[in-house]
Structure 1
């Protein structure tokens, strides 16, 4: 298989949201996130960067396969690519809500919406290109783990009470 610029661009695109949010996410990981009560199944912090890089790259390549085999944005791939784009946008919104706003509740609800949207996108992508659907499998497994962690965080970390200004 010949690697094309389209394949490279599609593989890089999902990481852009992560790169944009990295500076404040890293700061919050070292401060606010460290204070949260986490479940025993939370992976070590050093795992997240490499895993997300792999997942973003593989889902981006999956989108390329769908685009290539489904006739681009106007062909059979149109719905699958629209769903893929929607789940990617939801993915990019999670960090600003969870870390930026320090909202574990908001993060959970965005994560649950992301899990549903990514699942529907994965099925739609598999209908156009089975390999693309299979490439979304590890992402769905990771989202399942992440959503379960986020639910635990929401249930076991009450929101901070706002101070009254008198």
Structure 2
């Protein structure tokens, strides 16, 4: 019986990681030209180098998936929190398409503002079920807050492109 519980826990962790990385992959498809496009844009002086985004996002997606798994483990009644989590993943993936795929700076900015609201709602919801899970979303919230300011700045600096 104990082995069955452990196996179920591991399988769910792998499933949540896979679904989270799937969302990351969908976003990455929209960002295929991001390294070249990013270099062509007029950037604010404080913009991070393009190479930094991959490692940061990989770390954040891993923390996010672990947080969702902790919530799943914490309660059978956490379904709405997990739906919120997966909903914000969809909005997250859409941002890459809006900004890098379709060059829609204003819509990308609106999308990232919605994403911030959803991250806050998800973190608060996770916090109710598992404090560590809620805390694991704080780096994500901070990075997306920074990304929102960067999105706005780049959009304003490149009106003919975005």
Fold shared by both chains (TM-score > 0.5): yes
Please give the alpha-carbon distance, in whole angstroms, between the structure 1 residues aligned to 2:110 and 2:132: 29
Match of 1:69 among 70, 74, 91: 74
1:40 aligns with 2:45: yes
Aligned residues: 155
Q: What is the match of residue 164 of structure 1?
A: none
* Segments of 4+ moved more than 6 angstroms: none
TM-score with structure 2 setting the length: 0.87
Q: Residues 90 and 5 from structure 1, CA distance in 2 versus in 1: closer, same or farther, beyond 3 angstroms?
A: same
Q: State the Cα deviation string for residues 107-139 of structure 1 (Å, max 9, x = none).
A: 111111101111111011111100100100110
1:10 aligns with 2:16: yes
Please give the alpha-carbon distance, in whole angstroms, between the structure 1 residues aligned to 2:34 and 2:90: 21
Q: What does residue range 140-159 of structure 1 map to in structure 2 within 5 Å?
A: 140-159=141-160
Asked whether the 8 Å contact 1:6–1:64 carries over to 2, the reply is yes
Q: What is the match of residue 3 of structure 2?
A: none
How big is the shift at 1:52?
Answer: 0.4
Q: What does residue range 14-163 of structure 1 map to in structure 2 within 5 Å?
A: 14-23=20-29, 25-30=31-36, 32-71=37-76, 75=77, 77-160=78-161
TM-score with structure 1 setting the length: 0.85
Asked whether the 8 Å contact 1:12–1:57 carries over to 2, the reply is no
How big is the shift at 1:48?
Answer: 0.6
Unaligned runs of 5+ in 1: 162-166
Please give the alpha-carbon distance, in whole angstroms, between the structure 1 residues aligned to 2:83 and 2:15: 17
CA RMSD of aligned residues (A): 1.8
For the residue of structure 2 that corresponds to 1:102, the secondary structure is: coil
Please give the alpha-carbon distance, in whole angstroms, between the structure 1 residues aligned to 2:139 and 2:161: 34
Unaligned runs of 5+ in 2: 1-5
